[in-house]
Structure 1
Amino acid sequence: RKMTIQLLAISSLFLIFWLPIAVTGLIQQFFYPTFLIDIQFNIFFYLIYFIQLFLPIVCLIFLPEVIKTVVDKISQWKQRNAICDATAIHNAPAVPT
Structure 2
Amino acid sequence: MIKGRRVGTFTTGIVLVMFGVMFLLRLIYPSINYLRLASLWPVILVLLGVEIIVGYLINKDEIMKYDFAAIMLIIILAAFSMGMGCMEYIITHIQQLRTIL
Q: TM-score, normalised by structure 1?
A: 0.38
- Which of the two has higher C-alpha Rg? 1
Relative contact order, higher structure (CA 8 A, sep 6+): 2
Q: Going by fraction, where is strand more abundant, 1 or 2?
A: 2
